[in-house]
């Protein structure tokens, strides 16, 4: 924790001169990457917008798919295949972001270009698809797709692990009550795994918010508030990519300004985390009773008399057939 305090102090000390400086008259801040800004806040605001925007889009695209895959592996796929698939996904979580960046440049960018034109042409009346479509494919859309792909393995690995931990007795109890497989998942798996899923989503979002190289390589940015995903050179820049792009050329004060934007990224992440924690607390299992206060030991209500889930896990798997038969009215 000392490390964290160190990092925080370091950030604040480094960022303070740039935040306090006069951005309209300072010789260093009026040139180069920080030129033409009224103050630190007008500089950082579009960056924050861009970061949140692209991450949100990536999350919207990636999260359902990721949870879908996790469910597929944990509850739908045949056991033998599931092991292999799980391994494959873990492996993909290990693909470094620089590789995704290169892949985005050489594969995704040309691949999405026709789709970009098509979306812009046919759905241009929806604001986010409007504007002058890119001719090179370096759009925020391409960046968001790559981010979504990068998030998939992380969210999947963690939620799959958690789905697998659902006590077998809960699942079988649901089947015994006549639930279909989906109802069983909604009744037994999701409530059990909720905090874990939120945690997984947060880690995925964390990766997206802080992602540097892939965005820096793919997106063609500008310092603007912009929602049109398919344009070129208009997209809002993200904080991390902006740091990576301009850090090498920046002089001391400009570097401090960039570190200041990093500090703001920090603040966003705290906010995101707080919101997510609140959601977990509100909607976790047994939120309506006093268990909400025992968040840290969020264990599901269990049947009395159950000694160990390990025993149950070794039990028969034949519940499905019984359940389908009884599931009919």
- Residues of this chain, 154-213, that bind another protein according to CB under 8 A: 154, 156-158, 161-162, 164-165, 167-168, 179-183, 185-187, 195-196, 199, 202-203, 206-207, 209-210, 212-213
Residues 102 to 131 in contact with another protein, rule: CB under 8 A: 102-103, 105-108, 110
Give the span between the Cα atoms of 42 and 27, in whole angstroms. Answer: 18
Q: To the nearest whole angstrom, how small is the minimum distance from the Cβ of residue 128 to another protein?
A: 17
Of 90, 124, 176, 320, which one interacts with another protein (CB under 8 A)?
A: 90
Contact window for another protein (CB under 8 A) among 17-25, 52-60, 80-88, 120-128: 80-88
Q: To the nearest whole angstrom, how small is the minimum distance from the Cβ of residue 252 to another protein?
A: 6
Q: To the nearest whole angstrom, how small is the minimum distance from the Cβ of residue 168 to another protein?
A: 8
- Tell which residue, 101, 202, 95, 97, has the closest CA to residue 142: 101
What secondary structure, in 3-state letters, does the chain show? CHHHHHHHHHHHHHHHHHHHCCCCCCCCCCCHHHCCCCCHHHHHHHHHHHHHHHHHHHHHHHHHHHHHHHHHHHHHCCHHHHHHHHHHHHHHHCCCHHHHHHHHHHHHHHHHHHHHHHHHHHCCCCHHHCCCCCCCCCCHHHHHHHHHHHHHHHHHHHHHHHHHCCCHHHHHHHHHCCCCHHHHHHHHHHHHHHHHHHHHHHHHHHHHHHCCHHHHHHCCEECCCCCCCCCCCCEECCHHHHHHHHCCCCCHHHHHHHHHHHHHHHHHHHHHHHHHHHHHHHHCCCCCCHHHHHHHHCCCCCCCCCCCHHHHHHCCCCHHHHHHHHCCC
Give the span between the Cα atoms of 167 and 323, in whole angstroms. Answer: 17
Q: Is 322 in the site for another protein (CB under 8 A)?
A: no
Of 38, 135, 278, 282, which one interacts with another protein (CB under 8 A)?
A: 135
- x-or-dash pattern for another protein, window 279-318, by CB under 8 A? --------------xxxxxxx--x---xxxxx--xx----
Q: Is 222 in the site for another protein (CB under 8 A)?
A: yes
Q: To the nearest whole angstrom, how small is the minimum distance from the Cβ of residue 276 to another protein?
A: 9
Contact window for another protein (CB under 8 A) among 16-24, 121-129, 269-277, 282-290: 269-277
Q: To the nearest whole angstrom, how small is the minimum distance from the Cβ of residue 201 to another protein?
A: 12
Residues 9 to 28 in contact with another protein, rule: CB under 8 A: 10-11, 14, 27-28
Q: To the nearest whole angstrom, how small is the minimum distance from the Cβ of residue 249 to another protein?
A: 3
Give the span between the Cα atoms of 204 and 63, in whole angstroms. Answer: 9
State which residue, 20 or 270, has the beta carbon closest to another protein.
270
Number of residues counted as binding another protein (CB under 8 A): 142
Contact window for another protein (CB under 8 A) among 16-24, 60-68, 122-130, 282-290: 60-68
Q: To the nearest whole angstrom, how small is the minimum distance from the Cβ of residue 72 to another protein?
A: 4
Residues 228 to 267 in contact with another protein, rule: CB under 8 A: 231-234, 239-240, 243-252, 254-255, 259, 262, 265-266
Give the span between the Cα atoms of 117 and 122, in whole angstroms. Answer: 9
Contact window for another protein (CB under 8 A) among 16-24, 37-45, 121-129, 272-280: 272-280
């Amino acid at each position: 924790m000392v490390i964290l305090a160190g990092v925080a102090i370091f950030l604040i000390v480094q960022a303070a001169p740039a935040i306090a400086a006069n951005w309209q008259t300072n010789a260093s801040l009026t040139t180069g990457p920080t030129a033409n800004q009224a103050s630190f806040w007008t500089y950082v605001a579009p960056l924050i917008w861009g970061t949140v925007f692209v991450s949100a889009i990536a999350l919207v695209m990636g999260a359902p798919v990721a949870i879908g895959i996790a469910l597929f592996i944990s509850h739908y796929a045949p056991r033998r295949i599931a092991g292999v698939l799980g391994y494959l996904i873990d492996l993909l979580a290990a693909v470094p972001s620089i590789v995704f960046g290169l892949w985005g440049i050489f594969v995704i960018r040309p691949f999405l270009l026709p789709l970009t034109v098509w979306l812009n042409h046919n759905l241009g009346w929806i604001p986010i698809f409007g504007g002058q479509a890119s001719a090179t494919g370096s759009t925020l859309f391409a960046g968001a797709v790559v981010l979504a792909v990068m998030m998939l393995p992380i969210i999947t690995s963690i939620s799959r692990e958690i789905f697998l931990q659902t006590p077998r007795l809960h699942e079988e109890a649901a089947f015994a009550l006549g639930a279909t497989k989906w109802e069983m998942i909604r009744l037994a798996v999701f409530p059990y795994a909720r905090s874990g899923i939120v945690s997984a989503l947060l880690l995925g979002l964390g990766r997206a918010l802080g992602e540097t190289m892939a965005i820096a390589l793919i997106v063609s940015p500008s310092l603007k508030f912009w929602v049109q995903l398919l344009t070129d050179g208009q997209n809002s820049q993200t904080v991390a990519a902006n740091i990576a792009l301009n850090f090498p050329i920046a002089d001391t004060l400009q570097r401090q300004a960039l570190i200041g934007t990093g500090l703001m990224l920090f603040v966003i992440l705290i906010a995101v985390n707080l919101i997510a924690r609140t959601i977990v607390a509100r909607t976790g299992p047994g939120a309506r009773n006093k268990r909400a206060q025992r968040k840290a030991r969020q264990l599901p209500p269990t049947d009395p008399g159950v000694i160990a889930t390990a025993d149950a896990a070794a039990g028969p798997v034949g519940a499905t057939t019984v359940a389908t038969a009884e599931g009919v009215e």
